[in-house]
Amino acid sequence: MKWICVFVVAVWMTPISASADATRQTVNLTVVSSCGVSVVLGKATMSTDNGYQVDVPLARVGAHFYAGHAGVAPGRYHVGVPVIRGATPRSDCWGGTEVTVLPGHDRDVGIQVVTLGEHYDAHAFLNGTLPFPGFVRGSLIGKSYDSPVEIDDGAYFVEHQFPGRYLLKLSYGDSLECRIAVVIPEQGMRFDVSVQRAQECLGFPYHYPSTGERGFVRLFPSPSPSSTAPEKQ
């Protein structure tokens, strides 16, 4: 029965209860507050749609900076600082984001506390594991805007997206780039990059300033030879 529970968490990312047997990952949280030094933050919360919640005590590490950490079960969380009432409703402060914690991968998360009304409310997401170390940064390219992709502990994450078609770019080392076309559904999705997928998507982006020409040359031939089958002589 324990093996069945682990399988459900890995596929559906449904947070499990905080039992002694649950696999837990560390979330290191930093908070930047732009609501003034007189506003003191005491805690953040990590909660799920099914009612699971963890409080994250915050320690002040600078006039506008806070840090905290917590151990949580893998799953998708709403991370936020409770509403702080100001002198007027327009000066009320709040901050938060949405975070996915994958099994076997800790997270470093940063949020900003701002006046109410300034936060972003698109809720689709894209995340997944990476096949090996070396991926250093990424971007998600849409029709109207680009979004940074966070690389964290062997996985990649991008939050607050609208559903639609995008180009996922993952930079590897100094010069290589993996490019994958993705379609993000309304509920968001997990998309793991396998070794085979990396073999198919890695290449060299180039740009000639003198002519303005841009392009992308794949590193390996298509279709790529199988890593398990010998090449024909």
Query: pTM higher than 0.75 for the full model?
Result: no
pLDDT at position 8 over 50: no
On whether the CB atoms of residues 137 and 56 are closer than 8 A, the answer is no
For residue 158, list its beta bridge partners. Answer: 126
- How wide is the angle at C-alpha 10 spanned by C-alphas 4 and 12, nearest 5°? 95
Nearest to 50 by CA among 76, 71, 31, 21: 76
What are the angstrom distances between the C-alpha of 102 and each of 36, 180, 189, 214? 34, 21, 12, 36
User: Domains along the chain?
Assistant: 1-119 (2.60.40.1120), 121-222 (2.60.40.10)
**Mean pLDDT confidence for 178-193:** 96
With cut-offs at 50, 70 and 90, classify the pLDDT of residue 22: low
